[in-house]
Every structure is written in structure tokens, then in C-alpha cells.
Structure 1
Amino acid sequence: MSISAQEAAHRAASDAERVAWVDEADSPLGGVSRLELRQRGLIGRGSYILLFNSAGEICVHRRTLSKALYPGYWDVAAGGMVQEGESYAESAARELAEELGVAGVPLIEHAHFFYDAPESRLWCTAFSAVCDEPLRLQPEEVLEARFISIEAALSEVAHKLYCPDSLLALQRYLANRPLR
């Protein structure tokens, strides 16, 4: 599986982007490139947005093959690295607009947690949003997207590759959502 020149250029620009660098207590230390953050095993910040339609279905999407982490994996959340000087909420709004073309919708914060894996160390905040408008997928980031029930998404994990960090965001959302 190869990636296009456009995807390769997007990945190089993304690796050079300055992202928030924080300590174990999520206190800001400055900004570094994504590449440096990964190579040095530093802690960054990530935002995750669980997008639902009004029927309660969650948007799942498949990441492009050019992604540095989890290429081609399915994802239950839009999101990404918080940029230097940006809040979690600002990052969430930007990422939702960039990846899925959804802007101007209320974001509800659900959980703040630490994700620690060999490939990624992040303080994370999970948000949710509801939108019934057509999605506009960013071709450098998203191959395809669809809305399915949360139960269907959780059952797909058994036979499809899903991003483990966003699955943790979904688990935190499910544990913290208000009962109806």
C-alpha cells in the first residue's frame, strides 16, 4: 500500500507542526514538533471528538495510509494533537472542522485522561457533538466515514483495526455520560 505525493507532503507538514508539550501533571512545558514529541517519548495533548447524529449513531471513519500512527485503522473520534498555545476545546473545534467538515456545533466535554502507550503519550480530553449535516471528509486524513450504533462500533473492534486511543476516549465517554 503506497501513499500519494499529496498525502506524503501533508504528513511531512504535520510532523513539523508545533504541538503542546506537557509534563506528567498536564502542565505546559512549551511546544515541539510532532516528530520530536514521538522520537523523544515526550507527553503531548490530544483532543477527541465523538460525533453523533440525532439518531444517536456514532461516526466512525477510516484513517488514510499516510497517517504516522495507526494508518488505515478505523477511528471512533475525530481529533488530533493540540497545537502549541491552543486549548483542548480550540483543538477539538479545529480538528472536527478539518477532518469531517463539521463546524459551529456545540462541543460537550466529557473526560480528561492520560493515554500512555509506546507509540504515544498524551493527556487527552474527550468531547462529543451532534450533527446531521453531510460530512466533508479531508482527503489527506480520512478515507471513508459512516454512522453506526455504538454497539456495532464496539463489536467491530473484534475483527477490524481501531485506534486504541480513541477507543479509550469512547470508553471514558460511556462511563461519564449522563443517564437519560
Structure 2
Amino acid sequence: MTNPAEELLDVVDEHDRVIGTAARGEVYRRGLTHRCVFILVRDPAGRIFVHRRTDTKLFAPGAYDMFVGGVVGSGESYAEAAVREAEEELGVHGIAPRPLFKFLFEQDRFEQDGFDQDRLSWWCDMYEAEWDGPVSPQESEVAWHAWLTPAELADRLTRDSFVPDGVEAYRRYLGLRSA
């Protein structure tokens, strides 16, 4: 398995145009803008797949997230990355994420559970999907998981540490659904 810090990512500008490539570790260290995908996965009952990231993750180790997803590799499309990430993290095949919206996530300072970064900046392409079968989450990515109702997720958001980009994406998702 390749070291995640060495994975090549496209570096993009404020308009999401590719301006270069760099290793993920360098992208994080320098706070370069790159691309990510977020997939909100629900079961047929409307529960949301929520998980805790492993303590070995480069970004926000041990934090909770209500999205599966991750960085878009260099030369990879958002749609390709959405399918790849959802299938990898859930341990499934045949998932079909539906695109929702895209936004630029930026944060000047982030410190959480040993992760210390001066600048966070990435384009987030949002998807949702429904999955009605069993899941077998990737152990290197997911330390704990459960299907939570929206009310249970809202409660956890008040007491657990969630990834900041996921919190912002979920806020925007809820705004879209209520519009």
C-alpha cells in the first residue's frame, strides 16, 4: 500500500482550475487548495452512515464524520473519486452517488486531536447515495461506524468532535433540503 502522504493531488485555484500537482503531505503542510468528495450515505430507512476516523489518518485523526469520501487523486474526476471513495470506505461495490453541489471550504486555523494546521482549503463536491446492503468498512479508514437517524446525528454533533469540513458540508446539505 502506498503511503497516503505521497499520493499525488491536483492543486487548484479559487475557481477550481488545476494549477499544478503535489504530494498530499506537501498539500496539507502548505495549505494548498485541492479537491475532495463527500458522500452522504443513507439506508432505506433514512438513517445516515456515521463513522469515526482512525487515529492514523493524516487529517483529523479520530474525529467523527457523517460523510464517506476523501481527496480526489491527480487526474481523477470528482465523479470517479466519489464512487471509489464510497466503495472503499464502505467495503461495497455498485454504489451510485448522485451529485448535489460544490463549495470551497476554507479555514485559517485548525487544531484537533494532535492535528495542527495553519490553513485548510479544498473544493468539496457533494454527493448523496442510498445503500441497502451490508457494509464492511475499510479498517485503515474507519474505527467505528453506525447508521444514525438525523436526530441521533444532531445529538452527536453537540458532544463529539467532527471533522470541520463535514460539519460545514452537512450544514449546507440541510439548508438545501429545507429550501
Contact 2:50 2:65 in 1 (8 A): yes
Measure the CA separation in 1 of the matches of 2:102 and 2:43. 23
C-alpha deviation, 1:102, in angstroms: 2.8
In the TM superposition, 1:56-67 aligns within 5 A as 56-67=46-57
Unpaired stretches in structure 1, ≥5 consecutive residues: 1-9
Corresponding letter in the other structure for 2:165: D
Corresponding letter in the other structure for 2:5: D
Cross-structure match for 2:161: 161
In the TM superposition, 1:75-86 aligns within 5 A as 75-86=65-76
Greater alpha carbon shift after TM alignment, 56-65 vs 162-171:
162-171
Cross-structure match for 1:50: 40
Measure the CA separation in 2 of the matches of 1:113 and 1:107. 17
C-alpha deviation, 1:151, in angstroms: 2.1
Paired residue total: 169
Measure the CA separation in 2 of the matches of 1:76 and 1:148. 9
Question: 1:114-139 CA distances to partner (integer Å, 9 max, x unpaired)?
Answer: 11123421011110000011111111
- Segments ≥4 residues shifted beyond 6 Å: none
TM-score calculated relative to the size of structure 2? 0.89
Corresponding letter in the other structure for 2:72: V
Corresponding letter in the other structure for 2:105: Y
Percent of paired sites with the same residue: 36
C-alpha deviation, 1:175, in angstroms: 1.9
Cross-structure match for 1:124: 124
Cross-structure match for 2:146: 146
Measure the CA separation in 2 of the matches of 1:39 and 1:162. 21
TM-score calculated relative to the size of structure 1? 0.88
C-alpha deviation, 1:59, in angstroms: 0.4
Choose from 69, 79, 83 the match for 2:59: 69
C-alpha deviation, 1:178, in angstroms: 7.6
Corresponding letter in the other structure for 1:95: E
Measure the CA separation in 2 of the matches of 1:23 and 1:141. 28
C-alpha deviation, 1:103, in angstroms: 2.6
